[in-house]
A and B are shown apart, each in its own frame.
Chain A
Amino acid sequence: MAFIEIRDVTFEYKMATENSDGAGSKSNVGKSDTGKAGSAGNQGKTGNITEVVGKALDGVSLDIEKGEFISIVGRNGSGKSTLAKTINGIFMPSHGTVSVDGMLTSEREKIFDIRSKVAMVFQNPDNQIVSSIVEDDIAFGPENLGIPPVEIRKRVDLALKAVDMYEHRTKAPHTLSGGQKQRIAIAGAIAMMPECIVFDEPTAMLDPMGRTKVLEIIKNLNSKGITVILITHFMEEATQADRIVVMDRGKICKDLTPKELFSDSASVIASGLELPIVAQLARRLRERGIDLEQGILTSDEFAKSIISLSTRRD
């Protein structure tokens, strides 16, 4: 049995009008914790606007093993974020089941066990920090879990060090940069001692320095055995994962290793994605008849194979 099992999950929501770019951007209509399956929001409107039932997720099944690092990619509105939020029971699927370590998210009495096993970091660093003091914010999760104060203190210090923000522990979040705030949010997740962390576009609002640092922390967490689910628009980030899941219109259309995925450039582009620059270069060279090996993804690999090609010709 896999650590996380997503079985045939469909997530329906109502929306006021036909959305021209497909299902999705309104997927979070009032469907939270207490929302029952299929009873999404109050979007009923009058006039010529019709009510449509959209599917943010449409029969999605996925297994994730302990310690894995998977990326979920796809267009805006492809259902990535909705999928992520069903994993820890923030959204409840209209049909299908999600289980974490054998516990179903539909068993409401286990929901806090699930959420302490699967923590989550969101896109906007500002909107997920609850306290005006860094360390108090990190304590928020453990406090909710009813951990004794001394133990919370230990966890907070550990979490702060893990994201390299210990020296900023007494600062006010609004005085920090976006990247630093996001590290605080990650520390808040770490302090819950989860086995898995879901990152929902954690770098989308950061500058390159903040982005690099956050990705470094994510990789580091994974190397310590934490299962990582990373949703991202940046293909260079996605290639860091063991496995990339491509979503389109609420369905999983690819579930491959980075090497496999980016060898099939046509389907990558068809899903609204782009090839990493290295892969684009390699593909164009192959089209010109240069005999490059498949599955080159990093500058290093690319440089090496060019070098070996050039020495072979010498």
Chain B
Amino acid sequence: MYIQVKNLNYTYSKDFPNQTKALDDVSFGIEKNSILGVAGHTGSGKSTLLQMLNGLLRPDDGEIFIGEDCITEKDFPLVNIRKKVGLVFQYPEYQLFEETVRKDVIYGPKNLGIEDEKELEEIARDAISKVGLDYEMIKDRSPFELSGGQKRRVAIAGVIAMKPEVLILDEPTAGLDPESRHELINMIQNIQKNENIILIFVSHNMNDIAKLADKMIVLDRGKIAMEGTPREVFEKKDELNSIGLGVPKVTEIMHRISEEIEGVKTDVLTLDEALEEIARVLND
């Protein structure tokens, strides 16, 4: 495992009446060049976990290893964590601030100590084209006059420009219309493939997790409630329902059919798999 998260614990507002355990002995691992989906409700500890992976919060105890480095070590330089791990928050477009798109995208790389103008220009060009925007057209425009979807892409480019080995996205498609959502999901998938990075993404959309993730974890009240490949996790429909989460729509449909017809497979995650299974059932 390239990333190893070991026994993370974290409590908010310790010793106060509103004390809450945000993370409770959380451990998991992520393979190199893979995609991890994270599911869970608001308040399940997701965002605490993401912030720890980026060094924004330190666990009360527990460790996070990325490769050989233990990033939770007290003297591990923050700047090195930020070089390794890029974190894109929810609604990242709200963090844009520069006069031009180009300047905003190189804010991160500059903070990491890159000063050479030519290099920065290359970085900006590269990052912006990776998020599917036309660099020449957009580089000198104000980020504030772009459309919502474009703003979000620029914000993501600002993190990609830091060339992280691990890219974390917190609900990247929140608030987008269906078309933009599909485009963004495909874009993210492509970036992960082409860069051979680790991708961690939080989503409420089980269809997206089923489509993208190699592995998923489900958080519930600070604990890892479930862990495994999407196929393994989504097989436990009742367990998911009991913590108020669902399975992908196609899986749900197959479950519904299997109640009436015997021998129908329910570990179905994609539309194509569902088609095959239904065709099989009907042709039997």
- A and B touch in their complex, CB below 8 angstroms: yes
**Contact surface of A with B, Cβ cutoff 8 Å:** 16-17, 19-21, 25, 74-77, 123, 177-179, 201, 204-205, 207-210, 233, 235-236, 272-274, 276-278, 280-281, 284-285, 288, 290, 299-300, 302-303, 306-307, 309-310, 313
A273 to B180, CA, bound (A): 10
For B258, give the chain A residue with the smallest CB separation. A303
Asked if B147 contacts A205 (CB within 8 A), the reply is no
Q: If the complex has contacts A17-B145, A208-B244, A306-B257, are A281 and B275 also in contact, measured as CB distance less than 8 A?
A: yes
Q: Which of B59-67, B100-108, B124-132, B169-177 lies at the binding interface?
A: B169-177
Q: Which of B177, B256, B259, B279 has the most CB of A within 10 A?
A: B177
A272 in complex: contacting residue of B179, B244, B253, B281, CB < 8 Å? B179
A136 to B244, CA, bound (A): 31
Chain B residues positioned under 8 Å from A204 (CB to CB): 174-175
**Chain B stretch 139-175: residues in CB contact (< 8 A) with chain A:** 141, 145, 147-150, 174-175
Asked if B257 contacts A303 (CB within 8 A), the reply is yes
Asked if A274 contacts B271 (CB within 8 A), the reply is no
| Chain B nearest Cβ from A280, distance in angstroms | 6
Chain B residues positioned under 8 Å from A77 (CB to CB): 147-148
B174 in complex: contacting residue of A205, A288, A310, CB < 8 Å? A205
Asked if A277 contacts B177 (CB within 8 A), the reply is no
Chain B residues positioned under 8 Å from A299 (CB to CB): 249, 252-253, 256
Q: If the complex has contacts A205-B175, A299-B249, A306-B257, are A281 and B282 also in contact, measured as CB distance less than 8 A?
A: no
Asked if A281 contacts B281 (CB within 8 A), the reply is no
Chain B residues positioned under 8 Å from A272 (CB to CB): 177-179
A209 in complex: contacting residue of B41, B182, B271, B279, CB < 8 Å? B41
Q: B230-256 vs A: 1/0 string, CB under 8 Å? A: 000000000000001110011011001
Q: If the complex has contacts A21-B147, A277-B253, are A306 and B246 also in contact, measured as CB distance less than 8 A?
A: no
Cross-chain pair count, CB within 8 angstroms: 110
Chain B residues positioned under 8 Å from A19 (CB to CB): 147
Query: Is B190 interfacial (CB 8 A cutoff)?
Result: no
Query: Is B111 interfacial (CB 8 A cutoff)?
Result: no
Chain B residues positioned under 8 Å from A281 (CB to CB): 250, 253, 271, 274-275, 278
Chain B residues positioned under 8 Å from A76 (CB to CB): 147-149, 176-177, 180
Chain B residues positioned under 8 Å from A75 (CB to CB): 177, 179-180
Asked if B281 contacts A306 (CB within 8 A), the reply is yes
Chain A residues positioned under 8 Å from B51 (CB to CB): none
Chain A residues positioned under 8 Å from B244 (CB to CB): 208-209
Chain A residues positioned under 8 Å from B256 (CB to CB): 299-300, 302-303
Please name 22 pairs of A and B residues whose Cβ atoms are closer than 8 Å in the assembled complex, sorted by A: A21-B149, A75-B177, A75-B180, A177-B43, A207-B41, A207-B42, A207-B204, A208-B204, A209-B41, A210-B42, A235-B178, A274-B182, A285-B275, A285-B278, A290-B278, A290-B282, A299-B249, A299-B253, A303-B256, A303-B257, A306-B257, A307-B261
Query: Is B117 interfacial (CB 8 A cutoff)?
Result: no
A207 to B250, CA, bound (A): 20
| Chain A nearest Cβ from B130, distance in angstroms | 19
Chain A residues positioned under 8 Å from B257 (CB to CB): 303, 306-307
Asked if B271 contacts A233 (CB within 8 A), the reply is no
Query: Is B229 interfacial (CB 8 A cutoff)?
Result: no
A208 to B41, CA, bound (A): 8
A278 to B153, CA, bound (A): 30
B253 in complex: contacting residue of A207, A273, A302, CB < 8 Å? A302
| Chain B nearest Cβ from A267, distance in angstroms | 14
A238 to B22, CA, bound (A): 35
Chain A residues positioned under 8 Å from B274 (CB to CB): 281
Q: Which of A16, A204, A209 has the most CB of B within 10 A?
A: A209
